[in-house]
Amino acid sequence: MTTFQDLACEEIIKGIEETGADYLLTLPCSTIGKVIEHFENSDTITSFPISREEDGVGIASGISLGGQFPIMLIQDTGIGNSILAITTFAQAYHVPMLILVTRRGGFGEINSAVNLFSEPLPDILDAARVKTFKLDYRVPLKEWSTAIKQGAKYAKDTHRPIIVMFNIKGGAEQ
């Protein structure tokens, strides 16, 4: 049976392809494994793994300064070890990039610690003035690819990193 997660992954793949991005930098999440596998075999977007999100923000920034467009795909926990690079480099230096973030914590989360960062994360991003758009069950799945495409364009048009965060597990807002 096709699940919400399967359909969401298809929309995320479609959205990333429609951005026309040159590079996709990834750190895995079990929920979007299909997305990473898809782009490992892509002819149009160069995809590679990163070892830590802060390093990824630096590499993505260099790609962007070099005139190409990068997307990072990470878990929301990764914002914790990259927010300094996002704010004092990518944002301060007006470097556009799209950061796609999968949500941890909330209903369906079995990890007994991650909620302590994931739940307050939207407030942390708001306080740091990192513009974030949120997708969850209330946004029709067919709109997700459009949001990703628009997120990339908005990053370029406003010269800064933009985050599009999605809750792929379903469940209520956290």
Partner 1 sequence: MMSRLDALKILYKYTENIPVISSCGNTSREWASLGRRDNHLYMVDTMGLTPSVAIGVSLTLEKKGFKKCIGIEGDGGVLMNPNSLASASYLNPRKWMLIVFDNECFASTGGQCSLASRIDIAKVAEGFNLKTIQTDNAEDFEKAVQKSIEEDGPIVLHAKINQENQKNPFLNDDPAVLAYKFSSFLN
Residues at the interface with partner 1 (CB under 8 A): 23, 48-52, 54-68, 70, 84-85, 88-89, 92-95, 159
* Rounded least distance, CB 84 to partner 1, Å: 6
97-102: strand order across its sheet: 46-49, 23-26, 70-75, 97-102, 161-166, 132-135
> Can you read off the two tokens belonging to residue 18?
């429609």
Helix, strand and coil percent figures for the chain, each rounded to 5: 45, 15, 35
Contact, 166 vs 12, CB < 8 A?
A: yes
Which of residues 137 and 154 has its CB atom nearest to partner 1 in the complex?
A: 154
* Rounded least distance, CB 122 to partner 1, Å: 23
Which of residues 59 and 114 has its CB atom nearest to partner 1 in the complex?
A: 59
Q: How far apart are CA 42 and CA 157, in angstroms?
A: 26
Which of residues 78 and 106 has its CB atom nearest to partner 1 in the complex?
A: 78
Q: In a 3-state reduction of DSSP, which class is residue 152?
A: helix
Alpha helices in 20-133 (DSSP H): 33-40, 53-65, 77-80, 83-85, 115-118, 121-127
Which of residues 85 and 163 has its CB atom nearest to partner 1 in the complex?
A: 85
* Rounded least distance, CB 140 to partner 1, Å: 35
* Rounded least distance, CB 130 to partner 1, Å: 15
* Rounded least distance, CB 75 to partner 1, Å: 16
Which of residues 54 and 76 has its CB atom nearest to partner 1 in the complex?
A: 54
